[in-house]
Structure 1
Amino acid sequence: MLVLALITLVLHGALTGLFYSFSMSVMPGLNAIDPAQAEAAMRSINRKIQNGWLYLIFLGSPLAALAAGFLADGMAATWFFAAAGVNFLGSFVVTMAINVPMNNAIDAGKLSYQDYSPRWTTFNTLRTVASAAGLVLVGLGLTEL
């Protein structure tokens, strides 16, 4: 159980860091260059980020927290289930409902970078906050083991 809880913590930390790095460095960096170059760079990023490492942390975080919740008891289980729920809603649902469709729109040339960046970054920051909250909840679960 402890190993699964620690894996859950690492997955949540990695996901939080990924989202955080986009909001605090990648997007501001792209915003500082010509919009056409930023748009081309974002298209490339959106294509390259879809790989096994992303899927491991993106899908693995809520699933590992859910599994930890089922294996734990008492308050630990509650914290792990809460982490799974926060991560699922704040990361997975927001990504699939907002960020991915925006990525597809910019990739298809249906959305300008100037319209894309502020909205995408706002929702990415929401994903960051949700992932960080999930990370804290996993940490709380670990303290109850």
Structure 2
Amino acid sequence: MTVLALLTLVLHGAIAGLFYAFSMSVMPGLNAVEPAQAEAVMRSINRKILNPWLFLPFMGAPVAALITGLLTDGPAATWYFVAAGVNFVGSFLVTVVANVPMNNALDQGTLPFARYSPRWTAFNTLRTAACFVSLVSVGIALTY
């Protein structure tokens, strides 16, 4: 059980850190170069990021929290369920509904980087906040 709980913590930390890095460094860096360069780099990032190292924390964090919550009792279980729900809504659903469609539009050339970047970053910052709330929730669960 301890291994599963720690895995849950690590997965939440990994996805929170990834999203945080995009909002605080990748996107500002792209905003500092010519839009055509930024579009090309972001297209490349969007293609290369689709790999098991993304999918493991992205999909694994809410699933691990849910499973850990189901196998735990008392207040800790509630905190794991909070982590799973916040992560699912704030990370998974926001990604599917907002960020991925914008990525696809950028890839197809139908959304210029000047319009893409502020919207994408706002939704990414929302994902970041949700993932940090989930991470803290897992941390709280570990205290019980």
Query: Unaligned stretches of 5+ in structure 1?
Result: none
- 1:2 to partner: Cα distance: 1.0
- 1:4 to partner: Cα distance: 0.4
The aligned residue for residue 71 of structure 1 is 71
- 1:62 equivalent to 2:82? Answer no
The aligned residue for residue 47 of structure 2 is 47
The aligned residue for residue 122 of structure 2 is 122
Query: Unaligned stretches of 5+ in structure 2?
Result: none
- Could you report, residue by residue, the CA deviation over 1:15-43 in whole angstroms, capped at 9, with x for unpaired residues? 00000000000000000000000000000
- 1:127 to partner: Cα distance: 0.2
TM-score (norm 2): 0.99
- Could you report, residue by residue, the CA deviation over 1:47-84 in whole angstroms, capped at 9, with x for unpaired residues? 00000010001000000000000000000000000000
- 1:24 equivalent to 2:24? Answer yes
Amino acid at match of 2:135: L
- 1:90 to partner: Cα distance: 0.2
Amino acid at match of 2:123: F
> How many correspondences in the alignment?
144
Amino acid at match of 1:31: N
The aligned residue for residue 137 of structure 2 is 137
The aligned residue for residue 110 of structure 1 is 110
| In structure 2, C-alpha distance between the alignment counterparts of 1:122 and 1:111, rounded to whole Å | 16
3-state SS of 2:138 partner: helix
| In structure 2, C-alpha distance between the alignment counterparts of 1:96 and 1:22, rounded to whole Å | 17
TM-score (norm 1): 0.99
The aligned residue for residue 37 of structure 1 is 37
The aligned residue for residue 81 of structure 1 is 81
| In structure 1, C-alpha distance between the alignment counterparts of 2:85 and 2:143, rounded to whole Å | 19
- 1:2 equivalent to 2:8? Answer no
Amino acid at match of 2:89: L
Q: CA RMSD in A?
A: 0.3
Amino acid at match of 1:85: G
**Percent of paired sites with the same residue:** 69
Runs of 4+ in 1 over 2 A off after TM superposition: none
The aligned residue for residue 11 of structure 1 is 11
